Amino acid sequence: MARLSVDLAHCVPEIPSIDWFNPNAKVPCGVTVDHIRSAMVEFTEFLGFIDTQLVTKGMARFEDMLMPANFSSIVGEFMTASIPKFCSTVAKNAYHNGHPDLVPAGKYPNNSAQHAGADGIEVKSSRYLKGWQGHNPEDSWLMVFVFEGGRPTDKAKGISAKPFRFLMVCGALLDKSDWRYAGRSATSRRTITASVTKTGYTKMMANWIYRAPGLSES
């Protein structure tokens, strides 16, 4: 039998409790807190199943083998695909790299819109509690899923494994003034991005959707 690479207890993500959601949060297009929670629970079930299968075969957990940016992208893509399963009033934008990620169901031909502006919901995921990034500063209803999870470099750094968990979800309608381009050095090859400013952050935190117990920004 293959030696376990991680304790199986660390393969069981924390399930978001309904008690940790804000019943007063406002989300457009008919999306409710219950819809969002259902999608989040589905992701924890998915990840728990995948990680358990990998570890029992002596492999690393999913989040421990993927580049952090790739895993973060998967979290966001999963939310974009899952929310419409529970909410019939939104659909995943079928346009390749279309904006936003979720559009009002049936409003655009084949639910495909290259650029619908603020008509819908742009979905992001991040390991960070602020400084969220996008590719372009634009008007958008932005919803961010903040999570805590393993990284491929944790073991080398002596960081102990711990279960995946969602830390926070927040969202608000941002305009172009709530973004600023993030600089890069002359030798950097990373893609130029825009970051949510303090004003945008304040808007989003005022409409927090989910907050894990004991959450700290430190």
Q: What is the pLDDT along the chain (218 residues), one digit of tens a residue?
A: 556 667 899 999 999 999 999 999 999 999 999 999 999 999 999 999 999 999 999 999 999 999 999 999 999 999 999 999 999 999 999 999 999 999 999 999 999 999 998 899 999 999 999 989 876 677 889 999 999 999 999 988 989 899 999 999 999 999 989 988 765 554 554 566 789 999 999 999 999 999 999 886 54
Among 1.10.150, 3.40.600, 2.60.40, 3.30.750, what is the CATH number of 25-211? 3.40.600
Distance of CA 3 to the CA centre of its chain: 32
Q: According to the model, what pLDDT value does residue 134 have? A: 75
Task: Please tell me the predicted confidence (pLDDT) of residue 131.
Answer: 86
Q: Between β-strands 208-211 and 165-174, what pairing exists: parallel, antiparallel or unpaired?
A: antiparallel
Domain boundaries, the chain: 25-211
Q: How far is CA 205 from the centre of its chain?
A: 15
Show the 3-state SS of the chain: CCCCCCCHHHHCCCCCCHHHECCCCCCCCCCCHHHHHHHHHHHHHHHHHHHHHHHHCCCCCHHHHCCHHHHHHHHHHHHHHHHHHHCCCEEECCCCCCECCEEECCCCHHHCCCECCCCCEEEEEECCCCCCEECCCCCEEEEEEEEECCCCCCCCCCCCCCCCEEEEEEEEEECHHHEEEECCCCCCCCCCEEEECHHHHHHHHCCEEEECCCCCCC
What are 146's strand-pairing partners? 126, 168
CA distance 73 to 80: 11
Residue pair 79/55 in contact (Cβ under 8 Å)? The answer is no
pLDDT the model gives residue 117: 86
Query: 144: closest CA among 117, 164, 163, 172?
Result: 172
Instruction: Give the C-alpha separation, 121 to 102, whole Å.
Output: 5
Predicted model pTM: 0.91
